[in-house]
Each structure stands twice: as structure tokens, then as C-alpha cells.
Amino acid sequence: MDELIKAWDGECVIVSHDRPSGAWIFIAIHSTKLGPAIGGTRMKHYSELKDALEDAQRLAAGMTYKWAAAGLRGGGGKAVIALDHPLDQQERASLLRRYGTLVRKHRGLFLTGPDLGTSSEDMDIIAQEAPSLVFGRTLEAGGGGNPAPFTARGIFTALETTAQRLFGKGGLSGKKILVQGAGSVGRELIHLLQGCGCEVLFSDIEEETVRLHRNEKGLSFVPPEAVYETACDIFAPCAVGGVLNEESIPRLRCRAVVGGANNQLAAPEDARRLQDRGVLYAPDFVANSGGAIALIGIETRGWSREEAMRRVVKAVRDNLEAIYRTADHEGISTDEAARRLAQRRIDEGAPENEDS
């Protein structure tokens, strides 16, 4: 793990071992150039501890670009709580309160919200110890609530923007969309896609989720091992990261990849692999930025939920259209175009629409 920290281009990593639960906590601070680091808290089991650290680092870097591309003042950070064993409700709550104390001790360096494995209810618990440093608390606790509907709307907007570019005026209507991961965000996205006349296919590893969408909603289920070979118009990865890699990209049978998972590219060169195959890629930190944009706007700028949704749609659409134009004009990958957009805003010292 020492080598991972030394080789990282971020600012610092806070490492803590929670003795009562056995959990390790990594808070990765990638950049504070545009403000305090803001990112979700992820809680899960990892087969190796170094994987948890690397996950935090990669996710934190993604948040740096996400905030800059979205035009909001914030730095890149992410927290990972790596569980040693399953926790009961009381153990979990106690761990979250101790984690809240850890966040508070760093005096605003890092602000957090829900992520994979955590919820708005969890944020309520963390906020008991760090009340001014937590986003995404429940509506009853005065927070912005579950960000999944905003994240899904942003992904849906990215799908619409991409489909219009590929297929013209017909857009998404009649197109076959394969959603990988039907959890909180994937479920919301599927609902939106069903409402616009798409043929929706889905894949998931949770039996209950599969039964719900296949048996009750009548959707076509794709076994996880067959996802990449399944023909579709657009592939929407909404589960874990690293799914686009040297092994999976040659198997893809789609025209575009537009999804909500963080860090979909396993390595930077995978963007060029997609480009070489003629697969249009919507960079994940742009497509999945809706939840982050909405929570910041609702909780710090006084946006209504309707205003937040409008701003999410505009930010994702405008940024993605600009990224696609730049990639075409300069002959670079869409990932490179997106990173240039974000880096330019970081170098300027303030996002373009900070006062909008």
C-alpha cells in the first residue's frame, strides 16, 4: 500500500483502522484546488486491502474531474470503508458515528455523501458527528435525499444526446439498451427508458433484483457472463467499475457505451480501444454527474428539486455535446476530450458556470 500512495498523483490519503469493527477507512484527497474535497463514502468488503485503497484513489481522481466538468466549485475526494465482516445494525451505526468523528477531525478538508453500500439514512448517522460536512441526508433530516433519481436522469440525458448523434432525430425510440446493474440508479434508469419506447435488456447478479425485473416487469434478462457479447444499440454499465478493458472491449456488440458506473475504463488506453472499434463512449464522470450536481445545488444553493433536475439535464447535455465535438475535431478519444475540458476549468481556477 505504501507504493500505491507514493505513486499516486493526489494530495494525501487519510488511513484509519476502526478497531471495534475491524474495518479499514481510506479517505483519498485528490485535489483541493477548486475547494474542499467532496465525494461519497463507499462501504463494502474487498478481497485485498490494497484494492480498497486503490478504489478510493481512482474514485477521488474521478471526482476532481466530475466537479470541474460540471462547473461546480469542489475538489476531488472519496472515502472507502473496507469491511472485515458483515455488520449488524448496531455495529454499523456505531462504525458510521466513529467515521463521522474522523471526518470532523479534519476540519472541512473532506465533505461526503452516499455512495455504493451507503444510503441517505447512513448519512443521517454520520451527520450526528459531522453535521456540516455531509450531503445527501434524508429529506426528513433536512438533506437532499436519495441522489439516484438525479443520477439516472443525467445518464438518460447522456443516452439521449448520444443516440441523437448516432441515429438522428429518432433518438432512443425503438433502440435496444442493455443496462448492466439494476440497483438504485439502474432501476431508475430502466424506468425512464421504458417510458421513451426503448427495448430494455438488463443484467444483475442479485436474484431478487432479477426476479423483480424479469418476472414482474417482463424485461429480458441477460446473464452476467453474456453481457459483452449481447447485441444492443447502447450498453449502459451501471454496476461496478473496470468493466471496459482489454478483454471485454473486443467482445462488445454495441454502437456506444453510456452508463452510470464510476471508473468504467480499467486503464486509460481503453478509451482508444473503444475509439478504434468505432464504439462511442460517454465519459462516466460526465454521464453520471447528475446526483452530485443536484445534491450540491439543493443543499448549498437553495435549488428546488425541479431546478436541480433542469440543471442536471443542461449540464450533462451541454458538456457531452462539447466533448463529442472536440473529440471529432481533434481526432482524440472522448475520454481525453472530457479530461481536457475538466483540466482547463481546473487550471483557470474556477468552473465556467460557478455563478450560474
Parallel/antiparallel/unpaired status of strands 110-114 and 37-44: parallel
| DSSP calls for 284-301 | HHHHT-HHHHHHHHHHHS
| SS3 (DSSP) at 235 | strand
| DSSP calls for 229-298 | TS--SEEEE-S-S--BSTTTGGG---SEE----S--BSSTHHHHHHHHTT-EE--HHHHT-HHHHHHHHH
Burial status of residue 128 (CB atoms within 10 A of its CB: 0-12, 13-18, 19 or more):
middle
* Cα 78 from chain centre: 11
* Residues in Cβ contact with 107 at an 8 Å cutoff, skipping those fewer than 6 apart: none
* Cα 73 from chain centre: 18
Residue tagged 468493466 (cell numbers): 243
* Residues in Cβ contact with 81 at an 8 Å cutoff, skipping those fewer than 6 apart: 18, 23, 24, 25, 41, 42, 43, 44, 95, 99, 117
| Residue 78 appears among annotated catalytic residues | yes
Residue tagged 481526432 (cell numbers): 331
A 10 A CB-CB count for 45 gives 12
Distance CA 186, CA 177 (A): 12
Q: Which three cell numbers stand for residue 197?
A: 419506447
Catalytic residue among 78, 105, 169, 176: 78
| SS3 (DSSP) at 75 | strand
Distance CA 264, CA 238 (A): 9
| SS3 (DSSP) at 209 | helix
Distance CA 3, CA 10 (A): 13
* Cα 346 from chain centre: 20
Distance CA 319, CA 342 (A): 10
List residues with catalytic annotation.
Answer: 78
